[in-house]
Amino acid sequence: MYEDYMICEHGFRNVSQAGKIYGFELKVRIPYYRGLILSMLEDFIVSIDGELCPRESIRFSVRNYTFTLDELQQQTGLRWEFGVPATLTILKPGGLNPGEHDVHLTQRLRISYMPWPSVTVGSKRLLLEAASIKRGVSLYSYQQEFYLRKMNLEDCIAAVAAMGADGIEILGEQMIPGFPNPSDEFVDRWFGWMEKYKTTPTAYDAFLDTKLYKDRELTDKEAVEMMVRDIKLANRLGFKTLRVLVTVPRSIIEQTLPYAEQYDVALGIEIHSPWSLKSEWIDENVELIQRSGTRHFGFIPDMGIFVKKLPPVMQAWHVRHGATESIIHHIADAYENRQSLEKTKAEVVKLGGNEADLKFADISGHFRFDDPKWLTQHIPHMLHIHAKFYEMTDQLVEPSIPYDEIIKVLREGGYGGYLCSEYEGQRHIQDAFEVDSVEQVRRQHLMMQRLISQ
């Protein structure tokens, strides 16, 4: 009945992970007038420009489940719902060339009341979608409103969709009820929200509680088990990337990689200040990526490594809490001039700075400003980006982070992943002003939208 709509117009693109294109995907709908149990999907036959794709190279995905075509025959408890797009991923190293392609699809369905399989054939000429920076939001950005119960989880997702973004990043321990074992009812609601708001799970932020026990740190075995726990939950909720804290030991990551590959959830280690894009630490992680040959390990840069000027909202907070305004400005100028922390602290003492002034000087030492151009060599290994910001002005400017320079480098380097907002300004104004995280994030997306399209 619906053969003309069986191949979706959008979503035809190459797919990559950790900088490696491993195939391409297209979105498809069931051509039948009702949903079916997956075991009744007998076959998908795909050809591109007249070339038949090997059956064993095809993967079928719906919600957070992915199967080979042979594995589909065993799935008697899962359904492909009427009108819901599924994804066919075809494994093809290097993917497809840019431009238009003739796509031919045959679906064979086993219908109970029919004596023979239902065969539906469709063809379309589709333009391969070029890699483009996508926009999303870490729901961490809305934590103040969520904490005070001014917004619930659905409100947060709706706010992302309302400004034209589609990526959803979440801290499981912050917003998922019943963590780490949410109910099936919650998981169903989660995917219902993804469909309702046309949003996509992008990154799941995990934590490794090494200090779980008072008298000892976690053993390697316990640490890996905790990592695997989060990988399984990320997979259950449809996330393909799991944010790994910058402090997680490399040995734990290496031991966890087989599970990441098993559940198809890539481990993205966060590059977070004071770590740098130019350091022995990052070189050792690149070595692991190259040595393992995996596409399930890469980087998640946090834009807090590009703090060019100390955030004005942070300076103002310290002044309100006992710091000397002139000395705070002196510290900010010293930071902008890349003066050493030792020299800055000595100058604060010489100026008669108080305890609050010295505290702010110490805090300034935790920021760093990497040259945005250093991103270029790591773009092939980047899984996701935290678009951290502290404040968006009425003029749609982030005063402390040079997003114009950063996004230019990402565009020119061919980055095609998500920039997910990570608003951290609420903690610096909540003592004196009404926090409106939704408005702050909206402003950042207007800025990012403009810079991405330049």
| Residue 19: per-residue pLDDT | 60
| Residue 114: per-residue pLDDT | 79
Clarify whether residues 107 and 208 are in a common domain: no
Clarify whether residues 82 and 192 are in a common domain: no
- Nearest-Å Rg of the Cα atoms of the chain is 24
DSSP state string for 33-51: SS-EEGGGEEEEEEEETTE
| Residue 21: per-residue pLDDT | 83
Clarify whether residues 376 and 242 are in a common domain: yes
Clarify whether residues 193 and 159 are in a common domain: yes
H runs (alpha helix) in 275-376: 280-292, 312-320, 325-336, 341-350, 355-364
Of 325, 349, 364, the one marking the end of a domain is 364
Clarify whether residues 239 and 158 are in a common domain: yes
| Residue 380: per-residue pLDDT | 86
Q: Determine which helix (DSSP H) or strand (DSSP E) holds 119, and give its type and residue range.
A: strand 118-127
| Residue 1: per-residue pLDDT | 67
**Amino acid identity at 66:** T
Distance of CA 7 to the CA centre of its chain: 27
Measured between its terminal Cα atoms, the distance across the chain in Å is 43
Q: Determine which helix (DSSP H) or strand (DSSP E) holds 226, and give its type and residue range.
A: helix 220-236
What's the rounded Cα separation, in Å, for the pair 25 and 46? 11
**Cβ 328 vs Cβ 356: under 8 Å:** no
26: β partners: 88
Clarify whether residues 291 and 233 are in a common domain: yes
Clarify whether residues 23 and 108 are in a common domain: yes
| Residue 83: per-residue pLDDT | 87
Clarify whether residues 400 and 261 are in a common domain: yes
Clarify whether residues 292 and 387 are in a common domain: yes
Clarify whether residues 114 and 207 are in a common domain: no
Dihedral of alpha carbons 5, 63, 144, 388, sign: negative
Clarify whether residues 349 and 386 are in a common domain: no
Clarify whether residues 327 and 303 are in a common domain: no
Of 325, 345, 364, the one marking the end of a domain is 364
| Residue 209: per-residue pLDDT | 93
Flag residues of the chain having pLDDT under 70. Answer: 1, 17-19, 64
Tens of pLDDT along 213-265?
999 999 999 999 999 999 999 999 999 999 999 999 999 999 999 999 999 99
Number of domains making up the chain: 3
Which CATH number fits the domain that encloses residue 40?
2.60.40
Question: Domain residues for 182?
Answer: 134-307+368-452
Of 364, 380, 401, the one marking the end of a domain is 364
Q: Which residues of 242-254 are buried (b: 16+ CB within 10 A; e: fewer)?
A: bbbeeebeeebbb
